[in-house]
Structure 1
Amino acid sequence: MNSVHWGALAPNLAAAAGAALAVLLITFAVAVRRGLHRIVDIAWGIAFTAVATVTFLLSAGHGDDGRRLVVLAATALWGLRLAAHIAHRSRGHGEDPRYTALLAKAPGNQKWYALRTVYLLQAALVWLISLPVQIASYSTAPLGPLAVCGITLWAAGLLFETVGDHQLARFKADPHNRGRIMDRGLWAWTRHPNYFGDSLLWWGLYLIACTSWPTAAAALISPVTMTLLLTVGSGKRLLENHMAHRPGFADYVARTSGFLPLPPRRPRSRTGG
């Protein structure tokens, strides 16, 4: 059964792209003025919130109001919490080493290189990953069991991400932990509880959008792309490359799951049998 107003969704795709692009271009202008490109990380969650808000307004009269409200609230709560967390975490710090290394490779003007490889790319990713939010908002089907499963998965992901961020912030706030590897709480079960939670909640948003086989197929690229970004893209891979030289990190990697939460592995015995 076709439960989505595809004709009404089409102009929304363009409006969502415009919203994401506007947020990232404004961020680019601020970053250039301040000489600090790390603020683009704050704009990530804000851009998703902008897309969800524009979609909610344009989908009025085209989709089920309950589903529209759920995806707006879910996206905005996640996006604004993430933006606030990153803003607080980066306060008083200089440029992120990732962006310093990236801009050092610029073949020409660093400013325009950053625009192409960071800001425009992130705007495109926001649009692509937000497809479940856009599609769900134009679905006429009322919330059902699959949507409830999606909401539950989203809530579990947000909780995992929030608790992981809070535990890490408390650990870093203690001067006695300076230079040490965080391996407590959720961080004893996965090296990236925040990334795992991020992935989980986007799979939840995907389930909320799945009201028919066409919607399931159209929206699938979103959680797949987000998960790949977090595991082999700019998330886990780059962070672990940056941390590889830190004392104790190799032992932490040996006993702790890289992404999915699993019981810590016991260290191997060094004695022969």
Structure 2
Amino acid sequence: MRNSVAFVICLGVTLLALAIAVLLDAGTTPVAGLPLLPTLALFAFVVQWLVYVPSFIKQTEHYYDLAGSLTYAGVIILAVLLTAPDLRGGVMAALVLIWCARLGSFLFKRVKQSGKDGRFDDIKPHWGRFLMAWTFQGLWVFMTLLAALLAITSPAATGWDLLASLGLAVWAAGFAIEVIADRQKSAFRADPANRGRFIRRGLWAWSRHPNYFGEILLWTGIALMATPTFAGWQWLGWLSPLFVAWLLMKVSGVPMLEQRADATWGGQPDYETYKAKTPVLFPRPPQA
């Protein structure tokens, strides 16, 4: 892909996010005369672009995941400071901060230990394609946070209700699954006896990608908590977990890892058996 084409895609992605933000903005808390939700969306992109510049100059992807997590935190904190949300919004903000602190530190540590992230090998030398990766991360941040931002910035005080409790329980289940799966895989990889082998124990015996299932589940919990604050077009806040599911299942998560696993272990009887008996995403008890 040519750099000029990549730049046009970056511009289109940014304008799409801003258009969604303008459409869904509640119009109650302008920032320097600008609507709040588009301001938060633009902030997510600007942070990515600022970190992109030194990353491209140094040809490194080490700060990509960390920048994403810090942007999540920055957007949420800015939204809270500008709106002073009710209990529902405050709890949702805390949940997002807990999630991004855990995931950001985990991913940053993983990249530092491995020394590189193979996803960027082919695109780092090309400024447009590398910029596109950072711009899409800005879109990822905004779209994933959409339901939470709508609730946090909502002018209506909905109070705590059954749906808020249900959403919190779903979030907690998803968060626990993600954390446990990541820790199991890290422990597996840290054991020299497992070098060159694939994990199929613990939650990984129930699903080939249990961490991604947990990720989708926790954002579904956030959307459930936010639902009572939606009005009109703001029901598009449910794009948040749907976007996460689409991204992980069809774009940058499952397809890439499945392709890599097939290239490494494809044709080996134990791997083919594991693949045939274990669901790609939604867990089920291991089959004999």
Q: Does TM, normalized by the shorter one, top 0.5?
A: yes
* Contact persistence 2:171–2:218 (CA under 8 A): yes
Amino acid at match of 2:237: A
**1:213–1:27 CA distance, 2 compared to 1 (3 A):** closer
1:79-228 to structure 2, matched below 5 A, reads 79-103=100-124, 110-115=126-131, 117-137=132-152, 138=154, 139-211=156-228, 214=231, 217-228=235-246
* Contact persistence 2:150–2:230 (CA under 8 A): no
Report the Cα distance in structure 2 between the residues aligned to 1:95 and 1:32, rounded to whole angstroms. Answer: 14
Report the Cα distance in structure 2 between the residues aligned to 1:9 and 1:181, rounded to whole angstroms. Answer: 50
Report the Cα distance in structure 2 between the residues aligned to 1:27 and 1:250, rounded to whole angstroms. Answer: 41
* Contact persistence 2:144–2:240 (CA under 8 A): yes
Shift of 1:126: 1.3
**1:202–1:29 CA distance, 2 compared to 1 (3 A):** same
Partner residue of 1:106? none
* Contact persistence 2:80–2:93 (CA under 8 A): yes
Equivalences, count: 254
Partner residue of 1:75? 96
Shift of 1:111: 1.8
Report the Cα distance in structure 1 between the residues aligned to 2:179 and 2:50, rounded to whole angstroms. Answer: 27
* Contact persistence 1:161–1:197 (CA under 8 A): yes
Amino acid at match of 1:6: A
Partner residue of 1:253? 275
Write out the 4+ residue segments of structure 1 that deviate beyond 6 Å after TM superposition: none
SS of the residue corresponding to residue 194 of structure 1 reads helix
Q: Deviations over 1:3-54 (max 9, x none)?
A: x992226722122113212321232134224321253122222221111111
**1:148–1:170 CA distance, 2 compared to 1 (3 A):** same
Q: Which runs of 5+ in 2 are unaligned?
A: 1-23
Report the Cα distance in structure 2 between the residues aligned to 1:250 and 1:102, rounded to whole angstroms. Answer: 32
* Contact persistence 1:150–1:208 (CA under 8 A): yes
Shift of 1:165: 0.5
* Contact persistence 2:223–2:240 (CA under 8 A): yes
Partner residue of 1:238? 256
**1:180–1:9 CA distance, 2 compared to 1 (3 A):** farther
* Contact persistence 1:24–1:43 (CA under 8 A): yes
* Contact persistence 2:188–2:194 (CA under 8 A): yes
Report the Cα distance in structure 2 between the residues aligned to 1:214 and 1:48, rounded to whole angstroms. Answer: 24
* Contact persistence 2:56–2:130 (CA under 8 A): no
Report the Cα distance in structure 2 between the residues aligned to 1:47 and 1:250, rounded to whole angstroms. Answer: 39
Report the Cα distance in structure 2 between the residues aligned to 1:167 and 1:45, rounded to whole angstroms. Answer: 22
Shift of 1:198: 0.6
Q: Percent identity?
A: 31
| Structure 2 counterpart of 1:51, from 62, 75, 79 | 75
TM-score, normalisation: structure 2:
0.82
Q: Which runs of 5+ in 1 are unaligned?
A: 104-108, 267-273
* Contact persistence 1:12–1:134 (CA under 8 A): no
Amino acid at match of 1:32: F
Report the Cα distance in structure 1 between the residues aligned to 2:272 and 2:61, rounded to whole angstroms. Answer: 30
* Contact persistence 2:151–2:230 (CA under 8 A): no
RMSD (Å) for aligned C-alpha atoms: 2.0
* Contact persistence 2:213–2:282 (CA under 8 A): yes
**1:36–1:251 CA distance, 2 compared to 1 (3 A):** farther
Amino acid at match of 1:149: L
* Contact persistence 1:27–1:43 (CA under 8 A): yes
Q: Deviations over 1:218-256 (max 9, x none)?
A: 211111010111111101111111111223433321121
